[in-house]
Structure 1
Amino acid sequence: MGRNSKKRKERGDNPFDSRGSENWPEQLGKFLRFHLYKENKDTQEALGLISKMLGILPRSFGFAGTKDKRSVSTQRVTVFKQRASKLAALNKRLIGIRLGDFCYVKEGLLLGQLLGNRFTITLRGVVVDSEDVIKASANSLGRNGFINYFGLQRFGSGSVPTHLVGATLLRGEWKSAVKMILDPREGERNEISKAREYYKETDDIDGTLRKLPRHLVAERAILQCLKKCPGNYLQALKAIPRTLRMMYVHSYQSFLWNHAASARVQKHGTEHVVVGDLVFCKGDDTEKELGCVNPEFEYESSNDADDSSHLDEVPETDHPDGRHNLVKTVTAADINSGKYTIDDVVLPLPGSRVIYPMNDVAEVYHHLAEKDGINLTESLHNVKEFSITSMTGNYRRVFQKPMDFEWELLTYIDGNKPLAETDLDKIAKAKLVNIVKEEEAVCGNKEKDPSDCMKQSESLSKDIKLSTENNEAACAKEVKQPHVESVCGADSQGKQMALKLGLTLPSSCYATMAIRELLKTSTSVAFHKTLN
């Protein structure tokens, strides 16, 4: 115990786990970059398993953003001073996870270092009277886009939505917030429910920690702190990794934004800009001429590097051009000039450096916040990170059009047969770089340039389209429509119909909201549970 404490003290504030890396070759980059492929696991869960196998801390990993659990996804990840051969060897033991395309680089990935995500979505069991119905719906989605709501993932699917915890934090009710996070809740796995019930009945922290799964990071952090500092609920909340604890407050901001977006559509429709709307300033606008407001956006800059592996998804700024942080209020003169369209309209995520629409939509924010006992312009306590007035705020487009949108009608008989090629399928076809030999060459030859590995890896990565790092102008492309032979009524031999969609969305946009628009279905927790 004393030896471990000494090592921790020596490591100090180093954000990375450096165990076993003292003799790291200078010629190799300090970070190993690789592609993480996973099925039905979120990013934190997958990296938690990998870190446990490697015997390192999760904070050693870096990534640009989290990917949904209920999906097959691939993303780039970096890890501090680890051998590729060591990670590659894990593939034999990993289930539903694959690691590959290794390369040493000088810098690790940070949150937000991506422009967006590419989605391939297959909707099975499609039943329509005519293909024209599908064609009209798909073309409408590609042409008009969808309301850019924050998705269900933002608020959680449990009986205690994260935005309610966020509201409790904003009110400064620390004990209540801890109780909401720890208390039993409906719909969880049996082992988790038993652990929560056990703590509620006994207050036995050690016993609860033995029962509580390790992936419940927030709960474990709170309990470990309460063990050291009984009754100090604020300190217990601060023990949660920063990006994870801020998720609660961000969720409340998203809750207000979603309601404001609904009000904007209900009151003013989806066709035209109206007086009082907020829009991003155009490239030829100037602050003095048009009253553009700069919120001096600082939302992401304060994220702790060692907390990056625990981020849910921090709200991010849309980037229409280099002046993305300038917004203005639409005037009657702007309406007459036709300079702005409905695609330019934005709404604020509450904070101290944003402005609100100069119309009835602004009332929604203040009315909802007041119902929750929150003042958007005045803090109820002096804990800055849980104060709405200490957050700078942000702006988000009300409507979002999918980029590189394409769709295809398919027929199938076997419901278990995949209808889309995964990135693992693509990787299997590619010629992999023998990174082990690269390591040996670098370690045995001081003149070897490790950047050669990067060049090879970059070439390979082009065959594996993962994130939209070079896709900014894609939304201008025409919707790709397939030429499909008639499939309606083709079930005479047991065939069924599926709709396969391909679309690219900017960071922090939700594909589930695009599907909501396409299918005209609810996105409530109750509705989603009926689909399971």
Structure 2
Amino acid sequence: MLRSPIAKSLKNIKPFLKISSSLKPYSHLPEMSMNSVEESQVGILCYISQLPGFRGILKQRYSDFIVNEVGLDGNVIHLTTLDSPLEIAVEKKVEVTDLQDRDYTKEIESFRVLAGDSDVEKLKKLTDQVVSGVINDDESIVLSPSSEKSHRTAVHNFFKERMKFLVTDTVDGPDSSSKCIRVRINSGSNNGRGRNSRKRKNRDDKPYDSRGSDSSWPENLGKFLRFHLYKENKDTQEALGLLAKMLGNKLRSFGFAGTKDKRAVTTQRVTVFKQRASKLAALNEKLIGIKVGNF
């Protein structure tokens, strides 16, 4: 009776239980204190070769998985400090008295490129009131309607760059397809949003929208604060959602390269829009499983 090649090869296989002690697998490894499962208990009764085996540990805790983001420069992101940098410069508000006795003829003539004669006259009248010191905090002018967003953006940028003592916002125009730009003096007020502010019905009396204005944010601070986010056993969205809630911000004000594993200890770089490092660093005392630093 002929035997197949497979049957001949199986003849040389030695049973697991008959292997001599000198060739016993794992004999070169230290004894482990944990209870391990023997091969015979899971149906492994023999080896094809007499080479020593190996042991392994199945990692299950989130702390067994360390994930660090790698920057574009090739450096691995780590959290090394929780301290916030010192803010040297101090914000200085524009006072009306500082604007008196100044000549804005050149700026007004430059504005003529973007607007018509009627809008130029409105701006000239407003600046004359500022220079003379006879002006109310709620004094404003509304420019002619414009249906082109690019033109309105150019007007907003003009006041940001050339006449910083004035702030602008956008209000509804006479029809649904157009918008108007409203201009007022930057008095540092609450923009009509206080408790005692009255309800406004007319277009010119709407509360001021300061989203496009940088007057309330110090020029020495960048618009985006970059920091390192360290988290344990939490999803990136969950961690940033908690930070946003504690800061009174929206989740969309944060920016990051991608979500990191939840069941892991991860460190990644994050940016946030218009936030002070000192305010963010103060949250470390209240956070559990989350730390921020390296501002």
Structure 2 length-normalised TM: 0.29
Structure 1 length-normalised TM: 0.16
Rg comparison, structure with higher value = 2
Structure holding more helix per residue: 1
